Amino acid sequence: MNVQIVAVGKIREKFVDLGLKEYSKRIVRYGRLEIVEVREESFSEPLSDKQTEEILRREGERILAAIKPRSFVFALDRLGESWSSEELAAEFQRQAVHGISQLVFVIGGSLGLDPRVVSRADAALSFSAFTFPHQLMRLILLEQIYRAFTIVAGERYHK
């Protein structure tokens, strides 16, 4: 199984980068992992609704351009569904059975995701009602991907 994470912005915090490297090493036992960082638009707040839409549109175009055809796409969106780790693992298995080998997870920038990106997604997931920094969300996502792979493999990591 190939996993691609398309994320807006770069990692700036050393502790997040260290965690990402650790989980990346763990995940490659189960398949290929690719992290694609798309440029984050710079802006100063406050923003008008029109300015916000334009920023999301620009970032959305870059995200959509990074998604490979025939990929199963998960958009991380605060309005998405809440799944358990077991449900995510079951979805990995379902996609494999259907011949889908490319899973893409999309993490938006600080303003969220362009509605076109959410529309392109096959599933919209919310990890919590809490708001997380998008850089930290990348680390949380990698841990959950690793956890899903261990569940599928019947390994002991998941409790």
pLDDT digits (tens, 9 = 90+) for 22-57: 999 999 999 999 999 999 999 999 999 999 999 999
Per-residue pLDDT reduced to its tens digit, 74-126: 999 999 999 999 999 999 999 999 999 999 999 999 999 999 999 999 999 99
Contact status, residue 100 vs residue 142, Cβ threshold 8 Å: no
What are 149's two structure tokens?
A: 């792979």
Predicted TM-score (pTM) of this structure: 0.96
- Cis? peptide before 115, omega within 30° of 0: no
Residues near 126 by Cβ (< 8 Å), separated by ≥ 6? 76, 77, 78, 79, 80, 81, 82
The pLDDT of residue 134: 87
Q: What is the dihedral of CA 126, 129, 131, 133, to 10 degrees?
A: -30
What are the structural domains of the chain? 2-42+51-153 (3.40.1280.10)
